[in-house]
Amino acid sequence: MPLEITHEDFMTPQQTLALKEHCRRKVQDPVPDERKHPVRDWAILHLALDAGLRVSEICSLRIRDLILDSDNASLIVRHGKGNKKRGVKIGNALRTHLTEFLAWKEKNGESTAGRASLFVSSRAGGPLTRSAVYRIFKANAEEIGLPKRFSIHSCRHTYASLLYRASDFNIRLVQKQLGHRSIQTTQIYADVLNEDAVIAVDRLPQ
């Protein structure tokens, strides 16, 4: 089925920043509740927003999939859509955060062995499920009043839109980062974000 997206699928830069700042505040001033892990949840949402991974890809990440070298930071997605393997470059802010997250895991007795899951369930102890990641996003989104239409997958769409602009509209770079098999799929983002449309409608007779 062809990808169908419109502007309602993207968070604005202001909404994205608000979500990030909210998660940071929860880490700095956590509410005592052993069932919740704001440190883990912030790492998940930061990764979704700054790497654009699919939910299944986030849940499948293992420690060995993090390449956190200062000059070559990336994530290895071993089983993406179509069972394709790819590398996803990440920026310094996310690299630093993930480095700190690994230290937090070790401090809290979670395994940091190569094949250990990056994100684990606080109840079952196994890999975090997709439904759990959906709930984590929804809970944080509701706490800052984001529109209900947004889901964890909105983070991927938002990442694509921001990366497309930040890369000076380099559609092939976005394709590679997202792991799209066809450039036509990525082109949908370019069509939705076409700045020419904004210019054109402003030129209509008033």
Start-to-end Cα distance in the chain: 39
Catalytic site residue from 46, 157, 159, 189: 189
Query: How many Cβ atoms are within 10 Å of 118's Cβ, its own excluded?
Result: 26
Catalytic residue check, 134? no
Active site residue 180: yes
54 flagged as catalytic: yes
Establish whether 189 is a catalytic residue.
yes
Render 66-96 in DSSP notation, one character per residue: EE--TTS-EEEESS-GGG--EEEE--HHHHH
Q: Which of 26, 138, 153, 176 is catalytic?
A: 153
Q: Which of 20, 26, 81, 130 is catalytic?
A: 81
Query: Which residue type, as a one-letter code, is found at position 159?
Result: Y
Phi/psi for 65 (5° steps) reads: -85, -5
How far is residue 33's CA from residue 50's CA, in Å, rounded to a whole number? 27
Select which of 37, 54, 95, 157 is catalytic: 54
Half-sphere exposure of 18 (CA within 13 A, CB side): 13
Rounded Cα distance between 52 and 147, Å, is 20
**Which tokens belong to 146?**
């984001």
> In this structure, what token pair is assigned to residue 183?
């450039």
Closest of 100, 93, 58 to residue 76, by C-alpha = 58
Question: Of 40, 95, 156, 157, which one is the catalytic site residue?
Answer: 156
Q: With H, G, I as helix, E, B as strand and everything else as coil, classify residue 151.
A: coil
Q: Which residues are identified as catalytic? A: 54, 81, 153, 156, 180, 189
